[in-house]
Chains A and B, each alone.
Chain A
Amino acid sequence: MTQEFKPNLVGYLCNWCSYAGADLAGATKLEIKPTLSVVRVMCSSRVNSNLVLTALAWGADGVLIAGCHPGDCHYEQGNYYARRRFALLKKILESLDLEADRIQLSWISAAEGKRYADIVNDFAEKISRRGPSPLRNHSKI
């Protein structure tokens, strides 16, 4: 019997919404896959390309960035910048054929515990199916 692949996922969660959403998901005892390591950031726009690339280069199989819905940013416009940065990085990965679907940006509010659980579970399942990242376990990067 082959062992099931357990992905190594990194989640950068906005302190004001998605992190609270994750809290709510936990408080309401929703089932969440344990493969996501959460990093709490003050805003989704704090997540620059280097944070995502570091995670990938250091062995993550997928990176989830979660922030407030457009219009709801605690700092009013941070998530709009985050969205642009994400689009930019995604295009870079696409143009280099680096499996761009291993990074995902999702809007999750503080009230959306269920959405948080669904997104994390779906993401974990998607990456499990994809298998290990080509950048993972690579001593030459």
Chain B
Amino acid sequence: MPKALKMDVEASQGVKNFLKHLLESGKVKGVFALKKMNDSGAVSYSLITSVEELASAEPLMPLMPENAGQALSRLTVKEALKEPVAAVLRPCELRAFTELVKRVQGSEDNLLLISPICAGVFPLSSATDGSWEKQMASYAESSREGKIHPGVRKMCQACTSFIPGRADITVAFAGRKDTGSSCHLILDTPRGEEFAQGAPGTPETVEKEPAELAPLREARAARRSEVFKEIDVQGQKGLIKTFAPCLGCHGCMHVCPICHCVLCVFDSKMYELQPWSIESEPESKGGIRVPSGTLFFHLGRMAHMAVSCVNCGMCSDVCPVNIPVSEVFSMVGDQLQKVFEYVPGRDVEESVPSGTYKEDEFAGIGEQ
């Protein structure tokens, strides 16, 4: 059983105390976590370097203003961090960051990765209208009881990868009955243990996934198949029905942590209508959609990133016309990942499926 640090405060405060200790003792030079912008409820990911600023940090606040993987990539893509920084990010964000590091879009050097066993986040729209705050008590309660809170994002309700796979320190949160009065920081790696030395709390050993988490895992898996059943993307008919409202704002793409290309081909003018196609296409097709290529954009993006989809749900959350983008991409992603036996964010050394091959695979393909 892994070693852990037990603290006699609730989880969010426990993490904050731990971060404060790290900063004060000089073990880290900065903390990367969610921070309140003011008292409006708006939060953003921030790199915090002073203990005073840390006061307004909210490391476990159930909101995701941006996938932290993308935010960390912004910080480390040009150069690895030179000083140690403790980063608090959710399991899907950690997976996203891992996928980005694989694609040379960031570096894990000097990062201490801290991630909670996640109970989900509220939709972004609830950040400033205060509705998430009103739900915090029931959120903490359902988290303790290992139940799905009905207010969290749909993809969070349907997430079965809520236990961080490769964090240095895992914060025991969802499904733990004791999180109201105490919390455990599970030290998963020697690096985590090293940083936790001298931190406030009592050493213990705890199970990372105790039996009490099983009902939550089952409930999430059941919700996942429900969510996949709710979407209609079967055939051209279903796809057009689902994606017809698309404005072409490409918001889903811009918030997607896996979509990291500096200039996406779909943002370029490559697939804009050309004068000659305005003449020839209506002739062959009997009409032309303006703008053209909406479905093509979604299918193309899917072919590029769905195999690495981390199910964070950002795309659905930002869609102005409520297309279940994340639900569709996760459904397809699950199937692709099975084909390549690939788990996004599992291992930073593991190659992306399209970037590698085995000589003796897919034997049937090409022979016909």
Q: Cβ of A113 < 8 Å from any Cβ of B?
A: no
Task: A109 to B325: give the CA distance in the assembly, Å.
Answer: 41
Q: Which residue of B265, B303, B367 is within 8 Å of A88 (Cβ)?
A: B303
Tell me whether A95 and B335 are in contact in the complex, defined as CB-CB below 8 angstroms, given that A53-B303, A106-B366 are known contacts.
yes
Task: A138 to B367: give the CA distance in the assembly, Å.
Answer: 32
Q: Cβ of B276 < 8 Å from any Cβ of A?
A: no
Q: Determine if B235 and A92 form an interchain contact, defined as CB atoms under 8 angstroms apart.
A: no
Query: B323-348 vs A: 1/0 string, CB under 8 Å?
Result: 00000000110011001100000000
Q: Cβ of A29 < 8 Å from any Cβ of B?
A: no
Which residue in chain A gives the minimum CB-CB distance to B271?
Answer: A54
A39 to chain B, nearest CB (A): 17
Q: Chain A residues with Cβ under 8 A from B331's Cβ?
A: 95
Q: Cβ of B71 < 8 Å from any Cβ of A?
A: no
Task: A49 to B353: give the CA distance in the assembly, Å.
Answer: 14
Interface residues of A in 101-138 (CB under 8 A from B): 104-107, 119, 134-138
> Contacting chain B: which of A20-28, A30-38, A77-85?
A77-85
Interface residues of B in 342-359 (CB under 8 A from A): 353-354, 356-359
Q: Determine if B239 and A96 form an interchain contact, defined as CB atoms under 8 angstroms apart.
A: yes
Q: Cβ of B295 < 8 Å from any Cβ of A?
A: yes
Task: A91 to B285: give the CA distance in the assembly, Å.
Answer: 27
> Contacting chain A: which of B17-25, B163-171, B203-211, B286-294?
B286-294
Number of interface residues of B (CB under 8 A): 49
Task: A114 to B113: give the CA distance in the assembly, Å.
Answer: 59
Q: Which residue of A49, A50, A83, A97 is within 8 Å of B362 (Cβ)?
A: A83
Tell me whether A87 and B339 are in contact in the complex, defined as CB-CB below 8 angstroms, given that A92-B299, A96-B233 are known contacts.
yes
Tell me whether A86 and B284 are in contact in the complex, defined as CB-CB below 8 angstroms, given that A96-B234, A140-B240, A141-B296 are known contacts.
no
Q: Determine if B265 and A50 form an interchain contact, defined as CB atoms under 8 angstroms apart.
A: yes
Q: Cβ of A42 < 8 Å from any Cβ of B?
A: no
Which of A67, A81, A136, A138 has the most chain B CB atoms inside 10 A of its CB? A138
Q: Chain A residues with Cβ under 8 A from B365's Cβ?
A: 83, 86-87, 105
Tell me whether A50 and B289 are in contact in the complex, defined as CB-CB below 8 angstroms, given that A80-B357, A88-B354, A135-B236 are known contacts.
no
Q: Cβ of B191 < 8 Å from any Cβ of A?
A: no
Q: Determine if B265 and A70 form an interchain contact, defined as CB atoms under 8 angstroms apart.
A: no
Query: A63-81 vs B: 1/0 string, CB under 8 Å?
Result: 0000101110000010111
Q: Determine if A140 and B244 form an interchain contact, defined as CB atoms under 8 angstroms apart.
A: yes
Task: A123 to B46: give the CA distance in the assembly, Å.
Answer: 56
Q: Determine if A137 and B354 form an interchain contact, defined as CB atoms under 8 angstroms apart.
A: no
Q: Which residue of A89, A104, A134, A141 is within 8 Å of B235 (Cβ)?
A: A134
Hey, which bits of chain B sit against chain A, CB under 8 A?
233-240, 244, 265, 271, 281-282, 284-289, 292-296, 299-300, 302-304, 306-307, 331-332, 335-336, 339-340, 353-354, 356-359, 361-362, 365-368
Q: Other than the known A84-B362, A92-B302, A139-B282, what 5 A-B pairs have Cβ atoms closer than 8 Å?
A: A80-B358, A87-B362, A88-B336, A88-B354, A139-B289
18 residue pairs of the A-B complex, CB under 8 angstroms, read A50-B265, A53-B303, A57-B295, A80-B359, A83-B362, A83-B365, A87-B340, A87-B362, A88-B336, A91-B335, A92-B299, A95-B332, A96-B233, A98-B236, A137-B284, A137-B286, A139-B286, A139-B287
